[in-house]
Amino acid sequence: MLNVIELFAGVGGFRLGLEATNGFEVVWGNQWEPSKKIQDAFDCYARQFKDKGIHSNEDIATVDERKLLDLNIELLVGGFPCQDYSVARSLSGEQGIQGKKGVLFWEIVRLLTELKPKYVLLENVDRLLKSPSKQRGKDFSVMLASLRDLNYSVEWRVINAAEYGQAQRRRRIFIFAIRNDTAYIKDRLNKEDSQLLHKDGFFAGKFPVSEEVSIKHKPHSFILPEDIVQISDQFSAKYLNSGIMRDSVVYTEELIPIEEPPIVLGDILETNVDEKYYLSEKAIEKFQYLKGPKKIERTAANGHKYVFSEGGMAFPEPLDKPGRTMLTSEGTVNRSSHVVEDPFTKRLRILTPVECERLNGFPDNWTEGMSERMRYFCMGNALVVKLIERMGNRILEIEEEEQAFLQRDTIQTTLF
Please list the ranges in the chain whose pLDDT falls under 50.
none
CB 388 within 8 A of CB 206: no
Spatial CA neighbour of 185 closest among 136, 223, 152: 152
Residue 342, C-beta contacts closer than 8 angstroms, at least 6 positions apart: 269, 273, 278, 348, 349
* C-alpha to C-alpha distances, 299 to 290, 292, 295, 304, nearest whole angstrom: 20, 22, 13, 6
Residues of the chain with CATH 3.40.50.150: 2-260+385-409
Residue 200, C-beta contacts closer than 8 angstroms, at least 6 positions apart: 188, 191
**Taking the CB of residue 205, how many other CB atoms lie within 10 A of it?**
13
CB 138 within 8 A of CB 235: yes
Give the CA-trace dihedral at 225, 239, 154, 143, to 10 degrees: 60
pLDDT at 61: 93
Phi, psi of 264 (to 5 degrees): -100, 160
Annotation says 356 is catalytic: no
CB 145 within 8 A of CB 87: no
CB 405 within 8 A of CB 183: yes
Tell me how far apart the terminal alpha carbons of the chain are, to the nearest angstrom: 31
Supply the DSSP symbol for 279. P
CB 122 within 8 A of CB 107: no
d(CA 352, CA 342): 11
CB 132 within 8 A of CB 139: yes
- The helix (run of H) or strand (run of E) holding residue 222 is strand 220-223
Whole-structure pTM value: 0.94
Q: Is 155 left (phi over 0), alpha (psi -120 to 50) or beta?
A: beta
Helices (H), 337-384: 353-359, 372-381
pLDDT at 91: 65
Spatial CA neighbour of 394 closest among 53, 157, 226: 157
User: For 325-363, how does the pLDDT look when each residue is reduced to its tens digit (9 = 90+)?
Assistant: 999 999 999 999 999 999 999 999 999 999 999 999 999
Supply the DSSP symbol for 199. I
User: For 220-262, how does the pLDDT look when each residue is reduced to its tens digit (9 = 90+)?
Assistant: 999 999 999 999 999 999 999 999 999 999 999 999 999 999 9
CB 337 within 8 A of CB 330: yes
pLDDT at 245: 98
Residue 51 DSSP SS3 = coil
d(CA 41, CA 376): 11
d(CA 352, CA 64): 40
CB 348 within 8 A of CB 284: yes
Given the residues 44, 82, 356, 378, the one annotated as active site: 82
Residue 220 DSSP SS3 = strand
- The helix (run of H) or strand (run of E) holding residue 108 is helix 105-115
Spatial CA neighbour of 316 closest among 331, 345, 337: 337
Cα-Cα-Cα-Cα dihedral sign, residues 198, 199, 202, 205? positive
> How far is it between the farthest Cα atoms of the chain?
82
Cα-Cα-Cα-Cα dihedral sign, residues 118, 64, 20, 199? negative
Supply the DSSP symbol for 182. S
CATH 3.40.50.150 fits 2-260+385-409, yes or no: yes
Residue 18 DSSP SS3 = helix
pLDDT at 410: 65
d(CA 22, CA 20): 6
Residue 153 DSSP SS3 = strand
What angle separates helix 138-149 from helix 105-115, to the nearest 10 degrees?
A: 10
